[in-house]
Amino acid sequence: MSLTDEQQGEIFEARKQAASTKRPTVPALETILYEAIPVLDHGFIRVVDYMGDDASVVQAARVSYGRGTKKVQEDRGLINYLMRHHHTTPFEMAEIKLHVKLPIFVARQWVRHRTANINEYSARYSILDKEFYIPAAEHLAAQSNVNRQGRGTVLEGEEAAAVLGLLKQDAEVAYKHYLEMLNQDEDGQTLRDDRSGLARELARMDLSLNFYTQWYWKIDLHNLMGFLRLRADAHAQLEIRAYADKMLDILKAWVPISYDAFVEHRLNSVTLSATAIQVVKDALSGKTVSQKQSKLSQREWAELVSVFGVLNGEFHD
């Protein structure tokens, strides 16, 4: 992450402002407000604004005239109850706004979550910075042999070097040609007076998908947890997970009780199918169970074993 002096100055000014408010306020979030939390090699997440806190969830659930909260323990119980029973509307009553800098291929996954508001930096209107994502060596993985859409072992030696070389070189060349087509240098000066410069909306198509873009992104607490459930998951691509991991920290600072309920009932929960329930019931009652008899697929069986482990020898295939 490399902020310009001007950008750091703007953040500094924003962080200085202070006003008195009657609104719910979260000191832990105020502490990091506007600050850029680094992600990947050039990306960041900044909390730019927020609305509500854990008490806002309780307040909405009770449709109360005041804050609606009672004892901490009661509030915690209510939030857990709402989470467990998918009473999602009270969690929609808190909102957060982030400024995110992220590679375009990550942005393309991100927008699949449609229940959010986005304002993206326009490359029709402005010129993109020379910033592109190059994976750290330890993240440069081979295609997985078992998962059609995942990574396997880390690339090593000459192959890793070759890949890194190509990624860097191609992005460098792309950016060089981008400016050349725009007919300007890195300082925005015209390169050749006998040229007009290609329209920005066209020139950008030469850039590769690892270039960084940025946007303002606003989402309510319920949908944020929906995002994190999928993107902080082991099946998510490592690069978007890097953002989701930082957002988990933000979630914890913002709404610690909802965070706990989310971890307990979503992130670390497991859903058993009707057939899997029967397998576990049989195992619990001492019956011998096996994949073949269970009607579970091999993959489902493997997932069940990964959750509950081996038991008395009967749980094996």
Give residue 46's identity as a one-letter amino acid code.
R
Smallest gap from Cβ 108 to its own copies, in A, equals 7
C-alpha closest to that of 286 among 306, 307, 317, 313: 313
By CB under 8 A, residue 15 contacts its own copies: yes
Which residue's CB is nearer to its own copies, number 187 or number 271?
271
For strand 117-120 and strand 43-51, is the pairing parallel, antiparallel, or unpaired? unpaired
Binding test (CB under 8 A) with its own copies, winner from 70, 137, 186, 195: 195
Phi-psi region of 312 (alpha: psi -120 to 50; beta: other; left: phi over 0): left
Query: What is the spatial distance between Cα 215 and Cα 85, in angstroms, rounded to a whole number?
Result: 34
Shortest reach from residue 249's CB to its own copies, in Å: 19
Residues assigned a catalytic role: 231
Q: Which of residues 24-63 bind its own copies (CB under 8 A)?
A: 24-25, 30, 33-34, 46, 48-52, 56, 59-61, 63
CA angle centred on 238, ends 256 and 227, rounded to 5°:
45
Binding flag, residue 252, its own copies (CB under 8 A) = no
Burial class (CB in 10 A: 0-12, 13-18, 19+), 158: exposed
3-state secondary structure of 2: coil
Q: Does 71 bind its own copies (CB under 8 A)?
A: no
306 part of the interface to its own copies, by CB under 8 A: no
Closer of 72 and 162 to its own copies (Cβ):
162
Q: Residues 211, 103: contact at Cβ < 8 Å?
A: yes
Tell which one of 20, 73, 189, 306 touches its own copies (CB under 8 A).
20
How near is the Cβ of 311 to its own copies at its closest, in Å? 4
Size of the site for its own copies (CB under 8 A): 144
Question: Cα–Cα distance between 199 and 183 in angstroms, integer?
Answer: 10
Q: Which of 44, 41, 213 is nearest to 134 (CA)?
A: 41
Q: Binding to its own copies (CB under 8 A): which residues in 262-281?
A: 263-265, 268-277, 280-281
Q: Mask of contacts with its own copies, 104-133, x by CB under 8 A?
A: xx-xx--xx-xx-xxxxxx-xx-------x
CB of 158 to its own copies, least distance (A): 8
Nearest residue (CB) to its own copies, 39 versus 104:
104
